[in-house]
Chains A and B, each alone.
Chain A
Amino acid sequence: MSKYIPVNTSNPEFLGLMQDIAKAIRTGDAKLTEKVKKQFAEADFTVFYNAETDEVRVLRKDCPPIDFAVSRFTDIPKGK
């Protein structure tokens, strides 16, 4: 049975995942990306990234997608 994590940045677990994926995106760390993707997948999430708008899209099965600005979860500036 998959794990339930609410799409809510007040939820520490979801916040942690978003901070990790933001770091992975900024640093280009492929290992970290795969690790966090797997953690998202355990909660039935798929994650997408829009390089132009610098947004992460979180899609849970059977729910509309929700977009978040990457800059909200990391201090690492884009392009570094």
Chain B
Amino acid sequence: MQYNAPNCSEEYNPMVNEPVKLTAEEIKTRQELSFEWTARYKDGTELKQYDDEKQLAYHFGHIDQDRICEFELTPKREGLNPVKVNLETGLFYIDNKPFKELFAGETRIPLGLFLSDKKVVSPWGNKAKLIYVRHVRRDFVPGPQGFGMQVSVTYEIGWEADVDDKHEKHVLVIDEQGRLAIPPTFEQQGFKAL
């Protein structure tokens, strides 16, 4: 998992240090991914999850949250579309086209919230805070030669902020086949606050 911890020092956020070399283990992790991220900054520069030229891997903690304006998941396999969230517009984009709603049967579910002309506040100042979580599930399954491992990865992408003094959180989940979903609330998952 990757954490967004703006108020934590480097001691608590050990990923905010040097990028990691593309070791054999990192390469193995990379092979499990259907999407790789790119963080785009306001000045036009960008940070990619993997720098093939320098053989480096970056983690969420390396993203400059003060400067980021867009976060994109780029597919590594055919048949998948790029998905991105823009922290300035508050909208999601599939294949660079605004994606403003999902349908669950007949129920229309709006996605994102247009942030133009709105007061937006988050721990990162007057902008939305990026949410990105990579959920990795490893199942150990018995096989003829002992136990094998099946890996499934889903990607949670979105933003959170106080918009016109109201807390807003907009998140989309993408699975390895590119299917989109809204993550269930804690309540929907059966959790109640103690």
Contacts and interface: CB of A to CB of B under 8 A. Distances in A.
Per CB-CB distance, the 9 closest pairs between chain A and chain B, nearest first, are: A48-B191, A50-B190, A50-B191, A47-B194, A64-B133, A52-B190, A63-B3, A57-B191, A64-B1
Interface string A13-48: 000000001001100000001000100000000111
Given A62-B123, A64-B1, A53 B190 contact: yes
Chain A residues touching B, range: 20 to 34
A2 B4 CA distance: 17
Contact of A48 (B3, B4, B123, B194): B194
18 contacts: A24-B194, A25-B194, A37-B194, A46-B193, A47-B193, A48-B186, A48-B191, A48-B193, A49-B194, A50-B190, A51-B190, A55-B191, A57-B186, A62-B4, A63-B3, A63-B5, A64-B3, A65-B186
Nearest to B1: A64
Given A4-B12, A48-B186, A57-B186, A62 B194 contact: no
B7 interface: yes
A20 B190 CA distance: 21
Interface residues of B, number: 18
A4 B129 CA distance: 22
Q: What secondary structure prevails in chain B residues at the interface with A?
A: loop
A60 B191 CA distance: 15
Contacts of B1: 64
B189 interface: yes
A79 B4 CA distance: 37
A63 B194 contact: no
B179 interface: no
A31 B19 CA distance: 47
Given A24-B194, A48-B194, A62-B129, 20 more contacts: A4-B12, A21-B194, A33-B194, A37-B194, A46-B193, A47-B193, A47-B194, A48-B186, A48-B191, A48-B193, A50-B190, A50-B192, A52-B190, A56-B194, A57-B186, A62-B3, A62-B5, A63-B3, A63-B5, A64-B3
Interface string B108-146: 000000000000000100000100010000000000000
A24 to B, nearest CB: 8
Contacts of B192: 48-51
